[in-house]
Amino acid sequence: MTRDEILDSAVQIFSQKGYHATSMQDIAKAVKLQKASLYHHIHSKQEILVAVLDRALDLLIENIQEVTLLPLPADMKLQQAVQIYLKVMLENRDLAAVLLLEHRSLDPQLKEQHIPRRDRFERLWRDLIQEGMDQEVFVCQDSALAARALLGMMNWSITWFRPDGSLSYRQLSDQFSDLFLKGIIPRNHNQ
């Protein structure tokens, strides 16, 4: 039994039952270990949670960072970042659900440990939007607020998006990009 296998099982259980309703016994049973044997690999449920949250953010940071390094204009980078973000989130729904819903369950000390990683992830988006502002491709008052608005729009898609639905994740990412970059008011609209 490896630590990664334990984390994989914990992700599924946290996603299904929620962090607080999940016991160490549930995780031990899922990985076919005695509870005492589980503690040989993991010291606490909090340790599992922070490891899962860090794993999720590391996956997202790696993918989004690759996009930010492309030699493209900021609007094209943003479109690709939206597509990659949705792809990763929707292909890893359980992990995404734990990231989005269970971070609040971290004890204060572990939350302090986790926050810099979360901030690094948000900074990638903020810097991408700021790059577009610097290139005069984007106009907004606050790149941090814009980044949070974009992430908020995309994050909840894990709760309602269906792969067998009317949109593919690429079509969804195109529509999200258009909404974010172009808005919903026509350019020739009289104000």
Q: Average pLDDT across each block of 10 residues of the chain; the chain has 191 residues. List them in order.
A: 90 96 93 86 92 96 97 96 96 94 94 95 97 93 94 92 91 93 76 54
3-state helix, strand, coil in the chain (%, to 5): 75, 0, 25
- Give the chain's end-to-end CA distance (angstroms, integer): 64
Rounded distance, CA 12 to CA 76, Å? 34
Which pLDDT belongs to residue 191?
54
In single-letter form, the type of residue at position 17 comes to: K
Quickly count: other Cβ atoms within 10 Å of residue 2's Cβ: 9
Query: Can you give the length of the chain in residues?
Result: 191
- Structural domains of the chain ordered from first start: 1-43 (1.10.10.60), 46-182 (1.10.357.10)
Which pLDDT belongs to residue 147?
96
Residue position matching structure tokens 């999940």: 22
Which pLDDT belongs to residue 36?
84
CB 105, CB 20: distance < 8 Å: yes
